Amino acid sequence: MSLALTVQAEERIQFPAGYEDKMLNYLSLDRTQNDDQVIRLFATKETLAAAQAGKELPYGTVLVAELYKAKKDADGEVIESALGRRIRGKFAAVAVMQKGEGWGEKFSPEFRNGDWDFAIFSPKGERLVKKDLNDCRACHQPFAETQHLFSLEHMVN
Ligand code: HEC
């Protein structure tokens, strides 16, 4: 029973095909919680405008995070650029958050992120079904003050 619910919850987010053309890359970072990855974040102009205006992001909002492996040297150490930053290597995955009316209702408090849910795909858009989405939910959950987002303050046009 609960397994069926979990699957349903996971599959209601579709791969956001064509996001590169419809969204703006509002932030790119060395990932703060992984020492060998780089992340690029995307949202629509409308999402950025709503965040900038201090609004609750509306139902239907989609946020995209491109995850990259950082380039490594022959010894397997992450290369640091002249800027002291990691260098984007292989494009590894597309992580998605989407908000839908009532979507949070199924989750117990430790996994509930308001009405946001999570999904992860290969760069080509295949669902990565082995990833435990409760890891996503648990890590974003405490950040209720910033709408369960880490990068809310960076959402500016
Ligand atoms: C251990 C904590 C952690 C886990 C697990 C995690 N995230 Fe995040 N997420 C972050 C942090 C921190 C950021 C800000 C960028 C960065 O430093 O990587 C972020 C940013 C994001 C963003 C951009 C919006 C925002 O919150 O700023 C999306 C979309 C996202 N994550 C999706 C996911 C998905 C999907 C999963 C699971 C497959 C996931 N995250 C798992 C910590 C986490």
**Quick check: CB of 95 below 6 Å from ligand 1?**
yes
Owner of token pair 């002291």: 84
Mutate to test the pocket of ligand 1, among 33, 57, 120 (most ligand atoms within 8 A of CB): 33
Residue 156 confidence (pLDDT): 87
What are the structure tokens assigned to 16, written together? 């956001």
The CA 73 to ligand 1 mean position distance, Å, reads 26
User: Radius of gyration of the chain from Cα atoms?
Assistant: 16
Tens-place pLDDT, residues 1-34: 445 455 555 589 999 999 999 999 999 999 999 9
Of all atoms in ligand 1, which is nearest to the CA of residue 149?
A: 26
46, 48, 51, 114, 153 from 55: Cα distances, Å: 11, 10, 6, 15, 12
Residue 94 confidence (pLDDT): 98
Residue 11 confidence (pLDDT): 84
Residue 9 confidence (pLDDT): 53
Task: Report the length, in residues, of the chain.
Answer: 157
Residue 1 confidence (pLDDT): 44
Low-confidence ranges of the chain (pLDDT < 70): 1-10
Listed residue (145, 93, 150, 149) closest to 116, CA to CA: 149
**Quick check: CB of 149 below 6 Å from ligand 1?**
yes
Residue 90 confidence (pLDDT): 98
The CA 3 to ligand 1 mean position distance, Å, reads 24
The CA 75 to ligand 1 mean position distance, Å, reads 28
16, 28, 29, 103 from 44: Cα distances, Å: 12, 15, 18, 21
